[in-house]
Each structure stands twice: as structure tokens, then as C-alpha cells.
A and B are shown apart, each in its own frame.
Chain A
Amino acid sequence: MSTPANLKHSGPSAQTPPSPALEGVHHTARPTWKLAETVHFYSEVMGLKVCHAITAKGWGPEDHPDFLHFFFDSGNGSTIAFFYYLGSQRPVDPVPWDHWLYRSVHTAWRVLDRGTLMEWKDRLESFGYDVMVVKHEILESIYVTDPNDYMIEISWQMRPLERNDAADARLTLKAAIEVEEKTSRPVQVIDDIWRAKARLVEQLTAGGVDLDA
């Protein structure tokens, strides 16, 4: 995709080194103001082992110089981490904590099949959680929220992703960016993307362009 003119960094040039290999997500990290509840949830409910903890003095900013940074083994070499900033209060949020601004940020674990997903549903319900089940395009997922109100998802992928999926995803994003470039504002309704995409699908396939390229 082309690089928009308003982006701070330029796109790759002939001198740009190739992307070195990335080996999956090592950890994600979020703040918590509920230490015991968070440790309980990830250890006892999610069944993850604490695998690393950092305790630091004077390393943070002036209003919370000391902190705990602790990690749970979340499977396949990945971890999920939390910061516990000593002496700090959670900042007052300009929007409610259950606002989509926060709800959209979540961690999703993979399980291998539907049976395992349903076992997780049973387990979480046995702890008293209301478990939401959603069947998406390629994922079937269950959702709960942790003690911090961070959304937790567990999913099984119902089919492998194919080259078609990636090509289609690139076209979707290309269509969306084209709409924004044409209107000079953030895209407002999904219909505009769908209409732009239909034109791209026709143009590209009529031109014999390999969508997998």
C-alpha cells in the first residue's frame, strides 16, 4: 500500500533493510489497580502460572516511582503482563470504563477446537461469570471480563486462513483508505467502503491482476 503524505515516517525505500523475523507476541501489558484480584483471576480462573516478576524502585515517574511488573505464562511462549504502580490511583477517565474505547482492547487466547472452548465456558461459568458466546466469520469465541474490566476472549479458529482471506483483507483496507483520501475525512459509514471495494474487485479481476500478489 502507498504511504499517506501525512504520516510521520516514510515508506520503505531501496535502502530500507528487510523486516527481520518476528516470532509471535512475547507479552502484552496493562496497568492494574487490583493486585490480589488480578493474580487470583489469571492464576486460579484462567489457570496461568506466574512466570516472572520485576520489582523496581525509582524507575517510574515521580508520582509513582516504584512498581511491580508481573507476568503470567499464557501459552506457546507468550506471556500476559501487568504493571502495579505503587501509590498511584487509577486516573479518572473521561469516558466510562465500560465504554467501547476500553472494551475494544482485549486479549484473545486460542484453543484448538470447539470442545475445548465449551469446556472453558463451563469452567468460567462455574466461577460465576456470565459468558458471552459469539460465532464470528472464522472464530467462535467466548468472552468474560477480568477484575480490571479488561475483556478476555477465548477462541477456536473454525477454518485455516487462506490466500483469499489475505487478498480480500488488503482490498478492504485499500478501499477504506481510498474513501478517506477521496473525502479528506475519516470514513463515516461502512457502505462507502463496500461500494469502493466492489469497484476494486471488478477492476482488479477485469485487469487480470493476481489478488494473491
Chain B
Amino acid sequence: MTANYKFIDHTADIACEVSGDSLEELFTASVKAWRSSVVEETKYLKRDIKKFKLKATSKEQLLVDFISELNFKLFARNWLFNFVVLLEIKQKNNTWILSTEIEGMPLSQDVKIKQEIKAITFHQMNIEKTENQYRTLIVFDI
């Protein structure tokens, strides 16, 4: 398993190169990158499972929607994603479908938020498969 992410300099915001052996690994690396951008490392204090499905017309839209969902849960509902338990991505005709089970916890004073991410952008996002690896750049607007 080679899901990975690396932050790179961006004039105004946060840019991150992510990769993975499969789409599922790429998406998992992406939400890990998002999490490390918004909160300091913290213990997983309380276990809380959430399951949901997302549909989109492209892989890129699906990735933006997935991270946006976690961003919304944090900044609107005070619920912090910790890690992916299950993740499955399928394509059916022209629709991309994501099914996931994630673990997280309600925000508490023990969690230190680093910064607010306004949105997950499409800027320079292009999910490519090269040499059995999926890669893309993601830019978070802060």
C-alpha cells in the first residue's frame, strides 16, 4: 500500500500532491492530507462511526465532494474525521459512486484546529493513472 501525500508551496493557499495504488488509496491519502491541514495531531478520544454514499459525474468531482463532506462536518457540525474504516469507489455508466464508513469524534477542547479551509478546489486537479499509481494535486482554499 503506497497511499501518500506531500504538501508543496502555494502562494495563497495549501497545495498537496497525493498518490495511491488504487482510487480508494488516493482518496484515503487525500482525506488524511486534509485532516493534517486542519488539526494538530491528536489522540482519537471518542469513537463515532458515520456511513454515507456520494455520487458524482467525474472522479475529480467525487474527490472534491468527499473532502468537502468532511470539511462541512468539521466546520459546521463540529465533528472531526479521524480515519477511513471502509471505502469503495465504483463507476456505473457515467456516474462515480463512493460508499464509505469513517470513524471520527465530536470536537472537544483537546483538539487544536490549525486553520479553517474555506473550500476544496478543482484548481489543477487531474486524477491520472501512471505506472499503476493514481496521482493528483489538490488545492485547499484557506
A and B from one complex: no
